[in-house]
Chain A
Amino acid sequence: MPERLIYFDNNDTTPMLEPVLQAMLPYYTEHYGNPASLHQLGLEAEEAVSQARTTIAGFLGAKPEELIFTGSATEANNLAILGAAYAAPDHKRHLITSKIEHSAVLNPMKRLEKEGFRVTYLDVDGQGFVSPDNLKKAMTPETLLVSIVHGNHEIGTVQDLKDLGAVCRERGVLFHTDAAQSFSKVPLNVVEDLVDLASINAHKMHGPKGVGALYVRSGVRIRKILEGAPQENNMRPGTENVPAIVGFAEAARIAFANLAADARHMATIRDRLIDQLLEIPHSHLNGPRDHRRLPSNADITFKYIEGEAILMHLSMRGVCVSSGSACSSKSLTPSNVLTAIGLKHEDAHGSIRFSFSKLNTAEEVDIAAQKVREVVELLRSMTAFVPGIHSETEGAGEGFYKKKKDEF
């Protein structure tokens, strides 16, 4: 009989909760009107979208009219970055971001570079933090936007938005944050955190896929990137995904009802896993180990073995994790996040992300930790060289490993 899967890939996507599905279903079958239509069914749909907007905006500390629903957080990031750049006056041609951003921030930045904008990619420290001083130094009179991820998708680092936001606000530069991972896991208040634009989505907090949102502080001008009918305050056209928007709000309501307790629970099992896994020789945690880490994330490097191999063997044992950023799992280039915090390429390749939701249990952690130990031992027994097994000196082992790699 197959064992129940242990799903530790919640920073990628989470299972939808039953009450969320139940909230959505009537909007597929009964309340299917187009919110733009003026008849009863249209008005019902419009009312549902409007209530959802108020609910979600409230959890961000925003006003309902400051929230634009999109098809994903990727779209929200594109809209924020491209939209701000295209709306900026001609002399504002410079943007600042960090080296640990998600591809949905980095790739729009690269696009802007091709179009003649200048982009500064800020270094981070060994735990993934952006320094407000570095940000200050990177600012120029041409700077129009700063985009720094709130909770990092890979190593869980949670930036102090307020410190970064203050640098931006002082200079009249827009501040965007990708909060897809952090929303509903750590506190985020767009007013207190001095944020002008923030991207969020539903499927990372047990809501549906296919829906995200961008907070746009009132008075901030961006240009839309999709054209059509004037939905979403004329910022995002297309018939609203009403069932998913309703599901988004329901997922947010449930998440925020027990925010502190759920975060504590996740942090407890996270630390339980980290403690057990760091007992494995030649392993280390990436990202901070304090309150400035997403409660849902543990990212651990197991030296001298390939993350892909660990992932595969864990998958065969019913444990789902990811290696590198899930979105770049198809590529063989090491994660930009891990190399930015100073990991060598071979160590970046040996890193595994364990990510939790409130549905995970301590029991799952214990089972998973045991399986990780088995897999790491197995793989290291097959690998060319591991210090402690093949030699007493770690340095020698690394040299040997590196030599092996170069032969390929």
Chain B
Amino acid sequence: MAAYFDYIAGSPIDPRVIDAMLPYLKEAYGNPISQHKPGQAAAMALQVSREKVAAFLNASPDEIIFTSGGTESNNLAVKGLLTVHDHGQLLASAVEPHSILKAAESLERWGYSTSLVPVDSNGQINLLNINKHLNKYTRLASAAWVVAETGAVQPIEEIADIVRSSGITFHGDATVAARFFPIDVRAMNIDALTICAGTLGGPPAIGALYLREGTRIQPMLEGGPQEMGRRSGKENLPYIVGFARALELAMSERQERFKKMKKLDLHLKRRLSEISDLVIHADLPSRAPGILSCRIDGIESEALLMDLDEAGIYATAGSPCATMLHKPSHVLKAMGLSEEQAASTINFSLSWDTQISEIDEMISVLKPALDRLKAISF
């Protein structure tokens, strides 16, 4: 039996989302800008989807910019919101995703600067540190609501309040948080927010940037007048329709999904506690349920994952980015873990559809694999 524990990196699409997408995958449906009938049908579907995405965030439809996913939304936010100023500084934390940190590096080549706020051993941003790092050059601050690798939840609303009360634009990344929490951009005092469909049972490579009305942004992709000139390129209508459907389902099933993941997370934790020397990272009561990062010191997680893989158990050693770079995770490093500890780390991310039996299956493979690896290493 196979068991999959990598849902943050890649998820199957909910069959109900596929059903919503199929008509738009099958028909041409024209260009939403065209005035003929299929074009009008496309324009209507685009507008309805935009309204649904806006409703998910308590935003208005014109505040939604569709993009090719979280990476693009984050890039658009950081570059687009900072470069409307001639110069200035970005404030971000050391545990932001690479789409933020690498965008910040590229901005440095254009004369902008970055100030990185350190995090504590749980990967959390300390609000006092935010105040300390704000200065007269700060023009934009960006923080992920939930850290994708560890499930650590940042005090996003408090960060937004501090930042905005200093007159600074604030961008939040809710790529992962949207799985767990209701989002109200009006109540949150936020200027821009990244969301994407892939973490919510929707299609990959589609996302949006919420941009508060009246906020100036420098577009990144230029061409046709799509998305009110803020993001050019043919609208990926089938995916947009699927995105909107996924968000509808996420809203109506949020509590149920959260309860399921909480229960699964408890079980996972309980079963992992049977393994001696296993340490769960950032294991605060607030940790997003179903995202669990842990390590077993002295064990190379790559070897362990290979054993699991052979048995059809799919987990990862770190973020896709860290995996591709063959580098220890920058998130774990920022939390103060050593390279050896990072190399002993294994990450699990569950879905609300994960079965208790899958967790048990994983544990039954994990235990003997660990015994074998420990025997080799001594």
Contact = CB atoms under 8 A, between A and B. Distances in A.
A binds B: yes
Interface of A: 5, 7, 9-10, 12-16, 18, 21, 24-25, 28-30, 32-34, 36-42, 45, 71-75, 77-78, 102-105, 107-108, 110-111, 201, 203, 208-211, 225-231, 237-244, 308, 311-312, 314-315, 318-322, 326-331
Given A37-B314, A227-B106, A239 B198 contact: yes
A330 B204 contact: no
Interface in B280-324: 302, 305, 308-309, 312, 314-317, 319-321, 323-324
Nearest to B207: A238
Q: Sorted from nearest, which 9 A-B pairs have the closest CB atoms?
A: A104-B223, A210-B236, A36-B320, A71-B68, A241-B205, A327-B224, A74-B233, A227-B102, A238-B71
Interface stretch (B23-31, B247-255, B262-270, B369-377): B23-31
Interface stretch (B34-42, B56-64, B187-195, B209-217): B34-42
Nearest to B220: A225
Contact of B10 (A45, A311, A312): A45
A9 B31 CA distance: 9
Contacts of B238: 208-210
B227 to A, nearest CB: 11
B256 interface: no
Contacts of B34: 9, 12, 320, 322, 326, 329
B225 A315 contact: no
Contacts of A312: 35
B263 to A, nearest CB: 23
29 contacts: A9-B31, A12-B31, A15-B26, A16-B26, A28-B12, A32-B11, A36-B321, A37-B9, A38-B317, A39-B305, A71-B233, A74-B223, A74-B233, A75-B233, A103-B223, A108-B223, A208-B25, A210-B239, A225-B221, A228-B102, A229-B320, A238-B205, A241-B204, A243-B203, A315-B35, A315-B36, A320-B34, A327-B226, A330-B225
B75 interface: yes
Contacts of B312: 40
A28 B237 CA distance: 16
A239 B9 contact: yes
B337 interface: no
Contacts of A311: 35-36
Nearest to B70: A238
Contacts of A110: 222
B224 A74 contact: yes
Contacts of A201: 234
B13 interface: yes
Interface residues of B, number: 72
Given A14-B28, A237-B99, A103 B232 contact: yes
Contacts of A308: 35
Interface string B90-113: 000000011100110110000000
A9 B33 contact: no
Contacts of A108: 222-223
B98 A239 contact: no
Given A39-B315, A74-B224, A320-B39, 5 more contacts: A16-B25, A33-B6, A74-B221, A239-B198, A328-B224
A41 B69 contact: no
Contact of A39 (B6, B36, B198, B225): B6
B39 to A, nearest CB: 7
B51 interface: no
Contact of B38 (A5, A18, A211, A328): A5
B360 interface: no
Contacts of A21: 25-26
Contacts of A240: 204-205
